[in-house]
Structure 1
Amino acid sequence: MSDLGDWTSFGRIDAEGTVYVKTSSGERAVGSWQAGSTDEGLAHFARKYADLVVEVDLIAARLNSDSADVEQAASQLRKLRESLETAAVVGDVDALGARLDTLSKHAEDKVGEFKAAKDAERTEAIAAKEALVAEAEELASRDSHWKASGQRFSEMIDQWKAIHGVDRKTDQKLWRKFSTARDTFTRHRGAYFSQLDSERKVIASKKEELIAAAEELSTSTDWGPTADRLKALMAEWKDAGRLAPDAEQKAWKRFRAAQDVFFNARSEVFSARDAELEANQAAKEELLKKAEALDVAADPKAAQAAMREIQAGWHDAGAVPRKNQAKLQRRLRNVEDKLRDALDTAWRKVPVDENPLLLQMRQQVTEAEEKLERAKADGNAGRIKKAESDLTSKRQFLELAEGTK
């Protein structure tokens, strides 16, 4: 539908300026046009119809991608279909409605497949955790092989954490059974070792090693890994068993003192970082004042250039306290949304080849092609596959935007 004759076959404007769209069930008023000629009015409402078609095209493209959120796509298609009956557009509404019905059926089929896959995944995950529970209960019934069984319990906990897809109620029920079996095993092991005085010498030796390891780590400034290691040492300490009460208390004080040296030093450093984060927040608040003062409606391009400088400064300002991060980001996003709306309004007046969004999409395709070439040069099959997928997706969106598909 490239000329006026095509549009008039789907709509008209009467002498009072009322705009009608023609459908198989008759004419429907979609708006009023008083701003110009009848031709211009029909073209205006035809462009709205074209925008709907592009939106449907994009959803269809996403629906066919491997990473598509099919439930979201199905919801979007339902909303579009419902709104089509009252949409203020001029075009082949019947054809678009039929296409939406077809796409909706396809999306619902994919939703069904997705749910079936999730159900299968849940069934498999439950079976895997039930197997771990059965093994844990079998280990808990033994009265020997304490070390090997304890190591196996640690492995099983890691395996448990790696299993996903079980609903919360079932997972909690299975975990209680697993935890009960593990607690039973731990209790039996403790009772066994408490009867053997010679085992306390082994425990004492192990705890001396843990104390030495903690003291060696106490002056480390590699905060994250060291904290994790100290927590692991704490777990090892608990698993090592207990000494006689007096000996246990003395050993614990030495072990805990070594950890306190590290964590107190870390706390001081983090306090200094908090002060730096507050300074970063002050810098970002100043940038927000500049951003919120921009007159995006009067000169969107100038506002966009200024906004780029503000965004660069925002990035350079660094992190802020976590409790204020969302609020600051939301204020910046509000300005970005206003600028985007202003640019979109200006975009409708710019020739297609000069459209900044189209130019940006072309740049993204170029960057995706370069990324694929680098992946091929590295010879990494995984990166090549991902780069090819990304390039295909970006090319599809570009072709849709250019109207080549």
Structure 2
Amino acid sequence: MLRMTSDWGRIDADGTVYVRTADGERVVGSWQAGDAEAGLAFYTLRYDDLVTEVVLLEKRLASGAGDPKATRGQASALREQLASAAAIGDLASLEQRLDGLLAQADEKAGEAAAARAQQRTDAITAKEALVAEAERLAEAGTSWKASGDRLRAIVEEWRQIKGIDRKTDDALWKRFAAARDAFGRRRGQHFAQLDAERGQVKHVKERLIARAEELSTSSDWKDTTAAMRDLMTEWKAAGRAGRDLEDALWTRFRAAQDAFFARRSEVFAERDAEQLANQRAKEELIGKAEAIDVADPKSAQSTLRDLQSQYDDIGHVPRDAMRRLDDRMRAAEQRVRDAVDAEWRQGSAESNPFLTAMRERLAEAEAKLERARKAGDEARIRKWQDEVTQRRALLPESTG
């Protein structure tokens, strides 16, 4: 076999393969399979394979695809192999590259450790913030549905936060779970109290309904109207008994009130119609009284007496028309009285038939006044008192 050499190694004539290093030549193997050139190429290719492995490790580490810890382990293993590697090439240069790769791996590992530490710190901070929020809700949250929804959302957010050691994570979770349980107890107490209050409101409103239903058939319009309004005030002050129950209670209560006020409106409508008819009847009589011919005072007085009797027998009229009607009737009466007075002054008091009729009319009014007093009818008393006063006014003072 011929001797074969290269920059980084040689194959001796006996087939011994050497690699050149900084410390001198080192035997790396024996080549007996063929010519020396092929052997040299074989051992050079093995060096190239080592270079390829180093290049791959460098690229993976630089791109971030390679784990620094794993890369360091592989680089360390390759570096250890260099001392006994059966390869021909610049092993010193490759060793330097591996040293650089180890340094880069250590740097990357440090960065990864710092990143993990920061991630852990951020994760702990995020979960502590969620715990603090849950504790605030547990202590003071009163928007029960919104707070409950938020606590459920926190659980989902919690699951997305990674990078915390089990011990720390368990401690934080215990705080969150305790806050969630405290909120649940406080919410339960609130709704239990609310149920109790609503039960009391239900009892109060059922009592108000019973009273309203009792009053709904009353015909004492004035006092019952006031009572119904008082019941409405009490209803509003009683609070709410829960949405579904409140609607049912309100329907019953309102039905009782509506029944009373509908009856009252119907009665008032009938009364108003009756009073309006009375007003028209009185206006018709007043018109007749105002048209009396006073040329014959005796006849005028007789006609007026009949009209007055009919006028008095007509029932109530609307309040706003009462004064106006009475004023017109008194004016018509005064017109007849003036005619009677004029006639009386023309004759003697003893022989005047008009005076006799006036005294009879006064006596009738006094008798009716007396009966009204015995009956205790204040309205009739006032009416006939006015009548007596008017009749007395018709008589001359000398004959009263």
Structure scoring higher RCO (CA < 8 A, sep ≥ 6) equals: 1
* TM-score (norm: length of structure 2): 0.46
* TM-score (norm: length of structure 1): 0.45
- Computing the radius of gyration from Cα coordinates, the structure with the larger value is 2
